[in-house]
Amino acid sequence: MSIAVAVVGAETPGNVGTIARAMKNFGLSDLYLVDPPDLDPDGEAYGFAGQAREDVLPNATETTLDALVERFHTVGTTAVTNEDARKHVRYPFKTPAELADSLAGVETETCVVFGRERVGLTNDELAHLDEIVSIPASAEYPVLNLGQAATVVLYELRDRTVEATQHPDAIERASQREIEGLHGQFAALLAAINHPKGKRDKAERLFRRVVGRAHLTPREARTLRGIFRRAGDFAEPPDGDER
């Protein structure tokens, strides 16, 4: 699917640059600007854009809200929401994560529309858009900076826009043989330090639960086994107590 970003009536060039940078971070490239401020190549918009100054920002398209509505499935963003269905300009609304889930598997051109720094998108503007999204925030101060709000929303959409990240898809887990070896090493350590015999089973069971939740990597398991082994070598159980 294709996701574009639009910024309506931005007052601060730096916020436009910040949004362009967030787009670059999360694999988006199509930026539309409605009534934008002057974006001087030597000014703060390009200064805040990072590597997006090379492609996203200079290739931004100036357009109108009507043109966006005609072309895209539009999603308006707002901090202020109505509480029930009697006032449906801002209701119902999705969180950014819910928006990402709803777009899964949908083949359509979508544009996420952000509004002004001080007042956001007006009710008249929102009335023309297809969906509403809002970021859950403190009721005492729900309004985010424009650039911050865009970064949060685009982050939640990353699974729809980024083919690969710098993070591995999965973390390698130690084999069960390595894990069982670690448990054996822990049991040997309990004996070496003369942990009370009546409490060893409970301690081993507790340790097994902790390790089970941790999903150790092979290196972590080997490191812990080495520590337990070395600690056991320094411990001398009382006579007659077998390790």
Q: What is the pLDDT of residues 17-70, one digit of tens each?
A: 999 999 999 999 999 999 999 999 999 999 999 999 999 999 999 999 999 999
Average pLDDT, the chain: 88
**Residue 184 is assigned to a structural domain of this protein:** yes
Give 114-160 pLDDT, tens digit per residue. 999 888 999 899 989 989 999 988 888 888 899 999 999 999 999 88
Q: How far apart are CA 149 and CA 135, in angstroms?
A: 8
CA atoms within 13 A on the CB side of 2: 9
- The domain in which residue 22 lies consists of 2-161
Tokens (6 digits) for 175: 């084999």
Residues 226 and 137 in one domain: no
Residue pair 129/76 in contact by the 8 Å Cβ criterion: yes
Residues 226 and 116 in one domain: no
Residues 154 and 220 in one domain: no
Does 210 share its domain with 146? no
Confidence of residue 226 (pLDDT cuts 50, 70, 90): very high
User: Is 189 within a domain?
Assistant: yes
Residues 123 and 199 occupy one common structural domain: no
Look up residue 116 and give its amino acid.
R
Out of 118, 136, 161, a domain closes at 161
pLDDT at 243: 45
Q: What 3 state SS string does 118-177 have?
A: CCECCHHHHCCCCEEECCCCCCCCCCCCHHHHHHHHHHHCHHHHCCCCCCCCCCCCCCHH
pLDDT of 224 > 60? The answer is yes
Partners of 150 in the β-ladder: none
Same domain for 195 and 145, yes or no, is no
Query: What is the tens place of the pLDDT at every residue in 82-115?
Result: 666 666 667 678 999 999 998 887 778 999 999 9
202-216 per-residue burial string, b: 16 or more CB within 10 A, e: under 16:
eebeebeeebeeeeb
Total count of domains within the chain: 2
Instruction: Copy the structure tokens of residue 147.
Output: 């650039």
Looking at the structure, tell me whether residues 54 and 105 fall in a common domain.
Answer: yes
User: Same structural domain for residues 36 and 121?
Assistant: yes
113 and 79 in one domain?
yes
- Using the CB atoms, write b or e for 41-70: b if 16+ within 10 Å: eeebbbebbbebbeebbeebeeeebeebbe
Domain end residue (candidates: 161, 184, 212):
161
pLDDT of 5 above 80: yes
Domain's final residue, options 133, 161, 189? 161
Range list of β-strands (E), 9-122: 31-34, 61-62, 73-77, 109-114
Quick one: 139 and 196 in the same domain? no
Q: Which two tokens stand for residue 63?
A: 């357009």
pLDDT (0 to 100) of residue 116: 92
In a domain, 168, yes or no: no
Assess whether 99 and 69 both reside in one domain. yes
Statement to judge: residues 153 and 181 lie in one domain: no
Burial grade of 221 (CB within 10 A; 0-12, 13-18, 19 or more) = buried
pLDDT at residue number 140:
85
Retrieve residue 61's tokens: 């398209």
Q: What is the pTM of this model?
A: 0.74
